[in-house]
Structures are given as structure tokens and as C-alpha cells.
Amino acid sequence: MVKSNRGVSLIKSLVCIVIIGIGFIAIMQLSAFSINSMDRATEKNKLNYLSEMVMEDMIGDPENAAKYGSFNETCTYSTTGGSNLYDKMKDKWRNKLKEKNHIRINNKDKKLPCDTTDTKKTFIKSGTNTTGRVNFLTGKGKRKKYLGVVVK
């Protein structure tokens, strides 16, 4: 009678190991999902900051609002220089978009990931009320940030 119990305890141990293994797999998947969610949230915060900065610069210079409409940048860009306020503001935007130190996590600088399909554009519609709009497409064009305001 004692000999038949030895096999049962071995099977119970194997079943227990399988159940614990499934639990660990679920925890690892949950960790990966939460890390990806934090990265997306960080990227959205950066896009919010950058789009609001662009709009504030446009609102701060309403006489030249139409000149801000030609901003169209992808991952490969460089500052163009210029003596006008709107050229300096566009260069500031370019520098902020490629800057590394927007957010610092664990002593590592995070910068916006960029793909060839990612774009940052501004649009100005002049008329009775001059309106400005920012379109940021990131994450291979899947994540979108739109912001529009009345400039003057």
C-alpha cells in the first residue's frame, strides 16, 4: 500500500510546478504590458508638451502667424537658421523635437522614437479668425496628436 502512494505525490508535484509556471508566465506578460503602457504614456506627454509649445509660440507672434504654417518635419531634419522670429521659433521646435533630455528615467535620457512615416506639421488658416493647427504623427504614423487654436 505504501508503494502506490509514491507515484501520486510525484504527479501532484508536477501539477503544482505546471500551475506555478503558468502563474509566472502571466505575471511576466503583465509586466511587459505595463512597461509598454508607460512608454506610450511618456511619449504622449512629450507630444502634448511639444504641441502646446508650438501653439504658444504661434499665439505669441500673431502678426506673423501665416509664416508658421510651413513647418513640416520628419526624422531627418536640421536647423535652418534665420534672423526672423518665426525662423528662430521653427529652429527651436526642431531642436526640441530631436532633443534627448525631455524626460529622464533611471538616469537615462528618453527621446521621441522616430520612424520614416512620423511627421510633425503646422497649418495656418488665415481669414476673419486666423487659426493654427499642429499635427504630430508618431509610432509609425499610428499615434496622432492634433491641436488647434485661434491665433488672432
Beta-carbon-side half-sphere exposure of residue 1 (alpha carbons within 13 Å): 0
pTM for this prediction: 0.67
CA distance 117 to 114: 8
- Residue 111's DSSP bridge partners are none
pLDDT digits (tens, 9 = 90+) for 87-110: 888 888 887 877 655 666 677 776
Mean of the per-residue pLDDT values of the chain: 81
Q: At what angle do helices 85-98 and 2-60 cross, to 10 degrees?
A: 170
Within a 10 A sphere around the Cβ of 51, how many other Cβ atoms? 20
